[in-house]
Amino acid sequence: MKKTVVILLVLFTVFSGFAGGAAEKGGKATLGGPIKIGSIQDLSGGASTAGQPNAWGAEYAVKILNEKGGIQGRMVEITTMDCKNDAAEGVTSYRKLVDEIGVVAIIGPPLSNPAAAWVEMSEEDQIPIVGHFMDEVCTTDPETGKPYPYMFLAEPSSAIQSYCMAEFALKKLGAKSAATLYNPGNAFAKSQAAPFVDYMQKNGGRIVTEQTFSWADKDYSAQAIRIVAANPDVVFLCDYLPQNVTSYDALRDAGFKGPIIGANTLSLPFANMVKNPVKEVYFLQNYDMLNPNVGNFYELVSLHMKETNTASPAANVGFGWDAVQVLAAAMEKASDPTDGKEVAALLSKTSGVMLSSGSTITIDAATHRPNNMGMYIADYDANKNLRIVDYIEVN
Amino acid sequence: MIFQLLINGISLGAVYALIAVGFAVVFSVLKFSNFAHGGMISACAYMGFFFQRAYVPAPPIFVTILVTGVFGMFLALFLDLVAYRNIRKHKSPGIYYFLSSLTISIIIEQVLNIRFSKNPYAYPNIFESTFFMVGDLRVSTMDTMIMAVSLLILVALVLLIHKTKMGLAIRAVAINADTSRLMGINSGVVVVMIFLIAGFLAGVSGVMLGAKYSVYPDLGQTMMVKGFIASVIGGLGSLGGAIVAAIMLGVLEMFWTYFFGAFSAPVMLFVIMLLFLIIRPQGISGKFAKEKV
């Protein structure tokens, strides 16, 4: 009897030791258990039209990844949190994911305000973050030009996108002058407007007026009248959807008849929301949106619209999907996919990862942003259907 | 250019007037600024949008305005029941009304956020063209309609207040509720009537603003600030004063934004409000209200 008790005690002690050893600090994934990743998106804030499909795309990508056997045979668990397009909420979400849930990497939002706040924390916690925060200050230190070690962008930066649009305006539309109308309080808009102005001016174009509005403004007709008086060839818009709708109607109501060009936020459902006829609207697109013959983007968008009962296709579905592909590719190569330091080092060497667009992504180790990725230019036909009209690549 | 700015300013003022009148109606009797009005406008904007979308083809806008107005009346009655009736019953200080209205406003906005998120919704186009020409001036069709509706509402309210028995009762309760009660006026019914009017106005404003801009949870809240400033400058509780002040604000804002930019415009508006409170607290109308919450 004594012998049995002693054997049981020994076994208990041994197994307790194993159990203690397996549990890591901060609730991180146990060896061989699921790999926990986080997704921080704007689910209820001012950019939720982008954040919700982004979250869906990331979650769907994880689902498909798991169906194909996960990463190194381990399932992936994704936890999505709402940053409400707010830097402080973004920090809270980050801390919950890292400290309480124990994620080892994060899929970031298509927002620069929250992402910029994670730069130091991600370095301290060694948490790689892959996202679509296009402002270059999220990936490289503006003072030193060096990349932040744990921040990675999975699409062309704001500057590159704006250069593409400016190039299109100059070369394809033959514009000699332009005006801008945007909210400088919106980091997304600001990060697009400045490079657009810069590129136009450096390449022979002229900026005749830069008009602005604030979050509190609901009527932009004074700015629109001023733009019409300045008589630009094109007007550049780069805010979120509701502001773009108001800007467009204000410009057309004021009598501006020229092309209105801008960010990918002029994409659907923009055409269905404006009161004026949709004419000569050109905007950036990351994907050849409704082409079923390239990549799996069309399939993703169709499924998203069906599952969420959404009326318009959303490019952000592809953003969420793509960010997971980039992260998963690095984790797959790592000797320990939960080692943030190793995964981050591999992310900086990302090359040839297939995206939903059907093209591949290569990340520049010097900037942590993609190399040689261009942008599509789209417009609307007479029935308000989106169509791709050009592809521009600018470095 | 100057005339175009003037036309656009008057149009913008008409939008502010619609909101300011809703404020003024409640303040004239209950002597508090009903900040829940912004939340009610947002809720009504959604109601109008879904009513329009429920039928193919969409019903005429005036039917939508009427239906949403009635919805606004029921919403106002419900809010009175849950938020204000007890305060009235216990004769609590005015600050309780203010806090209650602010709370209700936040609750409505959050409920709309949860139910519909921040995704904007757009009313179908009401007019074939968004503007018409008067000489060289471009006049917005929607703004003209808002202006016409604001004036129509003002005339209807003036007639109601000055030509009907209910109006007489409203005026009596506005001057002194206790004395009115002693003279046989059922002040409870008058207060309910005021909330019904405010609810109807919120319904009309919701549809108008939703159709002009787009529908989102804080639509009413963001517009309400300007409406509130207009009602203070106009003389809290004065319908005519609120409309005059709203038009004045719209014109001022338009010119200021054109010449000095949009960012300093709110500062200018608040400075004007402050100046009025210091120099002429009774506002443009000259009626003095003690409680300017």
pLDDT band at B288 (very low <50, low <70, confident <90, very high): low
Is the pLDDT assigned to residue B66 strictly greater than 90?
Answer: yes
Task: For residue A7, name the pLDDT band (cuts at 50, 70, 90).
Answer: low
Residue A87 pLDDT exceeds 90: no
Question: Sign of the C-alpha dihedral, residues A86, A91, A92, A97?
Answer: positive
* pLDDT at site A292: 82
3-state secondary structure (DSSP) of residue A255:
coil
A343-352, B162-171, B230-239: which range is least confident on average?
A: B230-239
Residue A372 vs residue A37, higher pLDDT: A37
For A:26-65, CB contacts with B below 8 A are 43-49, 52
Just give the CATH number of B2-279.
1.10.3470
Q: For A266-320, what is each residue's pLDDT tens digit?
A: 998 899 999 999 999 999 998 887 788 888 888 999 999 999 888 777 888 999 9
pLDDT band for A380, please (50, 70, 90 cuts). very high
Residue B261 tokens, joined: 């930019």
A223, A241, A272 member nearest B262 (Cβ): A223
B119 vs A48, A249, A255: nearest CB: A48
Which of A212, A253, A275 comes nearest B125 by C-beta? A275
The C-alpha atoms of residue A4 and residue B135 are separated, in whole angstroms, by: 105
pLDDT score at A20: 42
Angle formed at CA A301 by CA A300 and CA A307, multiple of 5 degrees: 90
pLDDT: which is higher, A28 or A381: A381
Q: What is residue A70's predicted lDDT score, i.e. its pLDDT?
A: 95
Domains of chain A: 35-156+294-364 (3.40.50.2300), 159-285+376-392 (3.40.50.2300)
* Short-list B142, B144, B149, CA closest to B128: B142
pLDDT digits (tens, 9 = 90+) for B201-248: 999 999 999 998 889 898 998 888 888 888 888 887 788 888 899 999
Segment A292-304, tens digit of pLDDT: 888 888 899 999 9
Share of chain A above pLDDT 90, in %: 67
Substitution target in A219, A252, A253, A276 with the highest count of B β-carbons within 10 Å is A219
Instruction: Write the CA distances from B40 to B27, B101, B145, B237, integer angstroms.
Output: 16, 11, 21, 19
pLDDT reported for residue A22: 42
pLDDT the model gives residue B15:
85
Q: What is the pLDDT of residue B257?
A: 94
CB B244 within 8 A of CB B21: no
Q: Name the residue ranges covered by the structural domains of chain B.
A: 2-279
- The interface predicted TM-score (ipTM) is 0.84
* Nearest-neighbour CA in chain B from A254: distance (Å): 7
| Cβ-based contacts of B253 with chain A (< 8 Å) | 219, 222
Say whether pLDDT at A388 is over 60: yes
Say which residue, B285 or B283, is predicted with more confidence. Answer: B283
Nearest to A342 by CA among A321, A325, A359, A327: A327
Cβ-based contacts of B131 with chain A (< 8 Å): 253
Compute the Cα dihedral for B116, A300, A104, A88 and give only its sign. negative
Residue-wise pLDDT for A197-239, tens only, equals: 999 999 999 999 999 999 888 899 999 999 999 999 999 999 9
Cβ-nearest to B118 among A44, A220, A229: A44
Q: Which of B237, B196, B203 is nearest to B220 (CA)?
A: B203
Max alpha carbon distance in chain A (Å)? 100
Would you say residue A28 has pLDDT above 50? no
Looking at residue A192, its pLDDT comes to: 93
Averaged pLDDT, A167-184: 97
Give the closest residue to A341 by CA, choosing from A107, A149, A106. Answer: A149
For chain B, the residue count is 293
Structure tokens at A145: 């030009």
User: Considering chain A, what is the average pLDDT of its residues?
Assistant: 89
Residue A24 has a pLDDT of 43
- Kindly report, residue by residue over B51-65, the tens digit of the pLDDT: 998 988 889 999 999
